[in-house]
Amino acid sequence: MTNIASNCKAFCEVCGHGVYNLEKHLQSEDHKRNLRKEQGVILMAAKAFVLIETVGVRSKEVVTALKQVEGVEVDTVTGPYDVIAVVAGETLNDIGDLITAKIHPIAGISRTVTCLVMEDK
Ligand SMILES: [Zn+2]
């Protein structure tokens, strides 16, 4: 690695730079902040709001069906949509698969609009 100064004794993978004293560095606020950031990114599940229009008076059945799906939270709402589901997954691909495989086939859903949640960085 070219970014390690020759007088650095160790390299911190979390912070991505060389350090003089690794033990001391691991206790530093800078390192802890970077560690939290890294763990946050790993733990940060991808999330989407799925706005759902139902056919007729079937929103109750749709909600019941949605509640069976793992990773889905659901609420009945007023306004232009009947049901809003919050879908969480490890990646956006997981969410897409889940929506296609588990939500679209539910009887009584006439239309869905998926809004992916942006991570603020
Ligand atoms: Zn570090």
Classify residue 76: in a domain, yes or no.
yes
Once rounded to an integer, what is the mean pLDDT over residues 43-49? 76
| pLDDT at residue 121 is higher than 60 | no
pTM reported for the whole predicted model: 0.61
What is the CA(119)–ligand 1 centre distance, in A? 23
Same domain? 103 vs 68: yes
What is the CA(33)–ligand 1 centre distance, in A? 9
What is the CA(17)–ligand 1 centre distance, in A? 7
List, edge to edge, every strand of the sheet that includes 109-116. 72-76, 83-89, 46-54, 109-116
CA 102 to chain centre: 18
Give me the long-range contacts of 90-96 (CB less than 8 A, separation at least 24): 90/45, 90/46, 91/46, 92/46, 92/48, 92/116, 94/46, 95/46, 95/47, 95/48
What is the CA(64)–ligand 1 centre distance, in A? 47
| pLDDT at residue 38 is higher than 60 | yes
Specify the CATH number for the domain of residue 78.
3.30.70.920
User: What token pair was written down for 24?
Assistant: 């001391």
Same domain? 68 vs 88: yes
What is the CA(82)–ligand 1 centre distance, in A? 48
Higher per-residue confidence, 71 vs 8: 71
